[in-house]
Structure formats: structure tokens, C-alpha cells
Amino acid sequence: MTTFAVGAATDVGKVRSHNEDNLLVADTVFVVADGMGGHNGGEIASQIAVERLANAGAVGSIDDLVRRVQEANTDIVDRAREQPEFRGMGTTIVMLADIEQAAPNRLGVANVGDSRLYRVTATGLHQHTEDHSLVEALVRDGHLTRAEAAVHPQRNIVTRALGIDDKVLVDAWELIPVVGDRYVLCSDGLFGEIDDDEIHEVLQATSSPQDAADELVRRAREAGGRDNITVVVVDVVEADPDEEHPDDRVVGIHKALSGKVLGDTGPATPEPRRGEMPGGFVPPAMTWRVGLFTAVVLAVVIGMLVAVSAIGRSGYTVAEGDNGDRKSVV
């Protein structure tokens, strides 16, 4: 049994009229969801996801965790089919949960989209999740630097979300809970405004998780507040007696691939090497979707190169339009 101390805060920010983020803080289940879509669809999608994950009780296994995220996906897809004005709504999800039946005890993580899970270390933040976003794909392929991605006008385009298709790829894995560890779940409204060093500084300087969540949201507002901001800070207070654990805490990876039978974890996925992101990119089989995605990415890259050279020649800079920073999905 693992026990936690938790703080949470969410804020509409200074620009948006609605808060499309939702969060869940239950005894042993923590979620941040960042919705997207017109006609309040974003709020509804993130709310449906959080409700589904709240109502299911304790998590029994990593497969159970993935199944719940898939069920949340189905709920959103069904709702969008019933009400056409919600077509295209979706949400990111990042989830941390105690896997109560695991012995020794484990934490489960699930991620879809560009919300993040961090863990505070002595020297900085360890980002456990990989962003499923266009800019992350461009960084991975060497077309953008991290610094360019952080300010890129299309940084809100995600490549995965709940609610878009009948099947969703869920990154999921297990972590060893270690007393004293501090985890942070957040929407992009936090790290879009303040950098990892500042987030780390606040988390180190603040002992109460609620004070830490409040202060992070306050700073993101102060820095611009251009998006909804949601932060959940989770401290591990009690855990099973210490066992040997790797620095990254990762002990098992479950990648639920599209169309895969749930519960069949297939051949063992090798442990990530140190310094490698646990949700490390695994090239999926080439399908028409992947082909289409690749074509879209290429078109965007070429478009960017053309735009950048045009800007360079003209001396103009690109300003974000009113809706230019809205989250959307490829």
C-alpha cells in the first residue's frame, strides 16, 4: 500500500474564456486532462475522461489502467457520435495511480497527448512522459531544437488524443514508489509559460504539495496565462519497504498498440536505457495512417522552411492569431 499527500490547482488563465482542463484527485488515482474542440467540446471531453477514470475504483494492474483509458476514449467517441456538434472533440490524459494489487507495490502511469508527468530529482525535473505532439516529432527527427519547439506556433498540435478514433495508443508503464518522491502532473498551460528550471525551483522551495500547485499556477498566469493551467502535485508518503530501484524508477513498460488485444502484453519490451524516455518512440507498422501522418509532417516541415526563408527575406515576424494557439489534433 502506498499513501500520498496531494495538492491540486487549475485556472482558466488570462486569455481563454473557458477552462477546458479537468483534473481528478482520488485516494490513489490522479489525472490531468486537457480538452479540445468547439462548442464546449473540450470541456466535455476532458470531463467525460475524468469521470470514467474516477468511477472505476482502485486500479488492479497496468492492463486495467490501460483498459480504463480505452473506455474513456470510447465514452468520448460515443458522445461525439450522439451529438454532432461535439464531433472532433478530444482530450489528452496523463494519469498516475497506485496499482493496489501489485506486490511489491507499484505505481502505474498512462499517457496520451501532450500533458506531462514529471518527477522532481535533486538536480532537476525528470520528464517521464513523451509528448505526443507535432513539435516533439519534429524534434525527434532533428528538424527542430527543443528551444525552437518551445515557442513554435504549432506546438499545440497533438498527434494522439482520446475521442478521435475507436482505438487509441496508450503509453503505459510501472514505477517503483519511493518515499520522498514528488510527482507532478500538468497540462501544457504550465510548461508553455515557465521552463523546467523554474518549475523545479518552485517544487524544491515548497514543502506542501498544495502550496506548490498554487504557486506553479500563479507563476504560469504571471508569465502570460495564455492557456488553461492545471497542476497536480503528488508526494509519496508511505510505500512498501524499500527495494533496489533504478534512478528512473521504471520497472515495466506496457505499450498498448492500436488494435492490440488488451491483456495480451505480447513479447517483453526491453527496459529503456538510462537517460532514455520510458515512453520511447517505437516506430509502428507502416499503415496508411502513418503514411498520411508522415506526409503531413513533411508538408509542414517544407511549409515551415518556406515560411522561415520568406520571413528572413521580408523581416516580418509571425504573430499568433486569436485561435492560433488552440489545441488541435493531426
Name the minimum Å distance from CB 193 to Mn ion.
11
Considering only 52-60, 163-171, 227-235, 284-292, which stretch makes contact with Mn ion by CB under 5 A?
Answer: 227-235
For residue 307, CA distances in Å to 297, 302, 315, 318 come to: 15, 9, 12, 9
Closer by beta carbon to Mn ion, 59 or else 93 = 93
What is the spatial distance between Cα 213 and Cα 203, in angstroms, rounded to a whole number? 9
Closer by beta carbon to Mn ion, 64 or else 325 = 325
HSE-CB at 313 with a 13 A cutoff on CA atoms is 5
Neighbour-count burial for 174-209, b at 16+ CB within 10 Å, e otherwise: bbbbeeebbbbbbbbbbbbbbeeeebbebbeebeeb
Name the minimum Å distance from CB 155 to Mn ion.
10
Closer by beta carbon to Mn ion, 52 or else 116 = 116
Name the minimum Å distance from CB 164 to Mn ion.
16
Whether the Cβ atoms of residue 191 and residue 230 lie closer than 8 Å to each other: no
Q: Is 47 among the residues that bind Mn ion (CB under 5 A)?
A: no
Restricting to residues 174-203, name those near Mn ion by CB under 5 A: 187-189
Among 34, 131, 136, 193, binds Mn ion (CB under 5 A): 34
Closer by beta carbon to Mn ion, 171 or else 227 = 227
Look at the block and give the residue holding cell 527575406. 313
- Site residue total, Mn ion (CB under 5 A): 5
Name the minimum Å distance from CB 133 to Mn ion.
11
Name the minimum Å distance from CB 304 to Mn ion.
22
What is the spatial distance between Cα 228 and Cα 20, in angstroms, rounded to a whole number? 7
Question: Which of helix, strand or coil describes residue 277?
Answer: coil
Q: Is 227 among the residues that bind Mn ion (CB under 5 A)?
A: yes
Considering only 26-34, 83-91, 102-110, 117-125, which stretch makes contact with Mn ion by CB under 5 A?
Answer: 26-34
> In the chain, where do the E strands start and end?
3-11, 21-25, 29-36, 90-91, 93-99, 106-112, 116-120, 125-127, 157-158, 170-175, 182-186, 229-238, 250-256, 328-329
Q: Is 98 among the residues that bind Mn ion (CB under 5 A)?
A: no
Considering only 8-16, 168-176, 226-234, 246-254, which stretch makes contact with Mn ion by CB under 5 A?
Answer: 226-234
Given the rule CB under 5 A, which residues bind Mn ion? 34, 187-189, 227
